[in-house]
Amino acid sequence: MSTRKLFHQNKAISPILATLLLIVIAVAAIVVTYAWITMYMGSTTQNAGFIPYKANVNFFQDGETKKITIDIGNSGTANGEIIQVYIGTSDTTAQSQTTTPPTPITVAGGEIKSFNVTYAWTPGQTYYFKIVPNSGAAYPFQEQAPQTP
């Protein structure tokens, strides 16, 4: 039997069966992808981590000393730590500050922590703050000091 005869005797699967097979493969791939995405998204949203936000900023004067009280909240589910606080008149001139209580400051999930910074602020001036957590990106914000101390 020649090879030419051998190839002419084989018949391919019908077009209907081939179409059904492709549909089954596509549906299976969609189901696997959907299951993977829902599992990934579920675990990501449940473990939101440490998400800092500015709850309040209060400029005040204690005798001759000017201070700033900063309230930072955690809208995440995990505990986090504030390891550094920067304040300045622009985001490029912000300098590291000493806080009371001292850093690191632990903020539990859903909690708001308050701390003070001794800083010679000027009435009406806008100040730039940067809160640096132990994990993740720094949280920058700005606040204007009141017109009268």
C-alpha dihedral, 29 to 32 to 36 to 37, nearest 10°: 50
For residue 113, the one-letter residue type is K
pLDDT category of residue 4 using cuts at 50, 70 and 90: low
> Has this prediction a pTM greater than 0.85?
no
pLDDT confidence of residue 77: 84
Q: Burial of 133 by CB count in 10 Å (0-12 exposed, 13-18 middle, 19+ buried)?
A: buried
The 10 Å CB-count burial string (b at 16+, else e) for 43-73 is: eeeeeeebbbebeebebeeeeeebbbebebb
pLDDT at 1 over 60: no
Q: Is 48 left (phi over 0), alpha (psi -120 to 50) or beta?
A: alpha
Give the helix ranges, DSSP H, for the chain.
Answer: 3-9, 15-46
Q: HSE on the CB side for 95, CA within 13 Å?
A: 7
For the record, the structure tokens of 51 come out as 């998400």
pLDDT tens per residue, range 75-133: 888 888 999 999 999 988 999 999 999 989 999 988 999 999 999 999 999 999 999 99
| Domain architecture of the chain: domains with CATH | 3-46 (no CATH), 52-144 (2.60.40.10)
